[in-house]
Amino acid sequence: MGYGHWDDNAFQAARTFRASRGIDDFGYTADLRDQDCSTWRAHPALDPRDAFRESRDSADHASSLPIAVLFDVTGSMGAVPRIMQSKLGRLHGLLRSKGYADDPQILFGGIGDADSDRVPLQVGQFESDNRMDEQLRQILLEGGGGGQKSESYELAAYFMVRHVATDAWDKRGKKGYLFLIGDELNKPRLAGRHIRGVIGDNVREDISVASVYRELAARWNVFYVLPKQSSYYNDPEIAAHWASLLGERFLRLEDPGAVCELIALVVGVGEGRIDVGDGLADLRDVGSHAEAAAVRRALATRV
């Protein structure tokens, strides 16, 4: 729950070791591929059923800032989750090295389809050290989805509203940051049966999607990132749907590999640590010229 410190050298060494041994970066997915898919389950550390997640202050991190990154792991996203995984582990280091957040605590998770997938929601824990890389490796890339151009983002939103507590909000009235990364619509309504079946709450009625996002926005700065190389990047219905819910916080990202830089800059600007121009210069300083260009275009073309 946010203890310890991120070590980028250890992260890079672990990735190099895995590559040299032919070990998959998504180790849990690789393990399950050898099993009958009817047995697939969320990794115990990411299972949302009867679960609660917390971002708490500590002696190491006295002013915790919660940042949640939940990405679509269905088939329509193609290779995008793997592209993002290669960069997301650096997010904490970038936030700290440029001073965009003093005590960031990052949670990762996966979103699927509660109508058709065996594992429609996976939610990790807020971490400040290299355990966040373990979270990424434990996410199951189920690659499913129902084929109807909608996934269960609203179920993830409900979890973040009802099953997450943060000292940032409870002690300081400060919102965290939630980034949903995907390429489809929410379901038409948040089904009570999905809440009961996946999360375990005894909710009997369906809930409107708009009301879930209104409740979410009360405690979180919510962004939806639509990355290129996904199936519906150019679909106007997707853009209109998310713009109606989030306004200018709907972002198109032409380079999925720039997701780390985009999130870091959005947080830095939101925290008043940097403006967009200086933030883009920072990204170029750390060698991310192509990524900085993609981030600039994502922020310049906000709906």
What are 124-140's pLDDT values in tens digits? Answer: 999 876 667 778 888 99
CA distance 80 to 72: 9
Report pTM: 0.91
Cα dist. 275→94, 100, 265, 282 in Å?
16, 11, 9, 11
Spatial CA neighbour of 224 closest among 199, 208, 241, 207:
241
Q: What are the mean pLDDT values of the chain's consecutive 10-residue runs (303 residues total)?
A: 60 66 70 80 95 93 93 85 74 84 92 95 87 80 81 98 98 97 96 98 97 97 94 94 96 92 95 94 84 93 55
The CATH code belonging to domain 8-257 is: 3.40.50.410
**Per-residue pLDDT reduced to its tens digit, 39-91:** 889 999 999 999 999 999 988 888 999 999 999 999 888 787 777 777 766 78
